[in-house]
Amino acid sequence: MGFWSKTAKLITGNEPKTRLRRRKLTHRDLIRLESKIGAQLFGPVPAGHRREFFCLDDHTWIWYEEWTENGQHHEITTRYEVHPNGILKVQDGQPYAVVEGEELRNLAHATRLYHDRVAREIYQRDPISGQPLSTPA
C-alpha cells in the first residue's frame, strides 16, 4: 500500500477505493475487470487457454475461448442473447439456437454468480438491494 493509500486509510478508516477511481474509466475497462471474475466461474482454465466471460450489455452475455492445439490456433466466440421468447445462442458460422436444458441451467447459475460477485467485488454494492456496501469501521 502506497503512501497516499495509507494516509487515506488513516484519515477515513476505510480501505482506499480501488484503482477504478484514479483515472477516467471506460465501459471497456469495467468489462475487462468483470471478465476476470467471469472466467473463473466455469472452473479452472486449462493450460494454454484464454477464457473471457462477461456481460456485454443488458441483454447479451459473451463467452470467448482461445487455445492452441497441435500448433493450430482456435477461438470460439459464443453470444447469448436474451429475448422475450428465450435465450438465443449464436456462434460463428452456426445458426441461432435456443438454449435449454443443462446448458441453460449452467448459464443461469453462472450469470447469477457473475452478477453477485461483480456487484460485491468490483462495484462494492449489495447484489440484492443494489445499495453501496457499508465498509466496516
Partner 1 sequence: MPNTLSYNQDRAVPSGERFDSRYIFIENKQEFEPDGPKNAPIDGETAQTVVDSQRDIEARTALAKEVAVSYTPEVHHISEQKQYEQSVGHAAVRTAWFRQEQLTQHELELAG
Footprint on this chain of partner 1 (rule: CB under 8 A)? 20-21, 24-25, 27, 30-31, 34, 55, 57-61, 80, 82, 86-87, 100, 104-105, 107-108, 111-112, 114-115, 118-119, 122-123, 125, 127, 130
Nearer to partner 1, 46 or 132 (CB): 132
Which residues are CB-contacts of 37 (< 8 A; sequence separation ≥ 6)? 114, 117, 118, 121, 122
Bridge-based pairing of strands 50-57 and 60-69 is antiparallel
Nearer to partner 1, 30 or 66 (CB): 30
Which H or E run contains 109?
Answer: helix 101-121
CB of 11 to partner 1, least distance (A): 17
CB of 80 to partner 1, least distance (A): 7
Nearer to partner 1, 14 or 68 (CB): 14
Please tell me the distance from the alpha carbon of residue 18 to that of residue 3, in angstroms, as a whole number: 14
Long-range CB pairs of 46-54 (<8 Å, 24+ gap) are 53/110, 53/114, 54/114
CB of 58 to partner 1, least distance (A): 4
CB of 82 to partner 1, least distance (A): 4
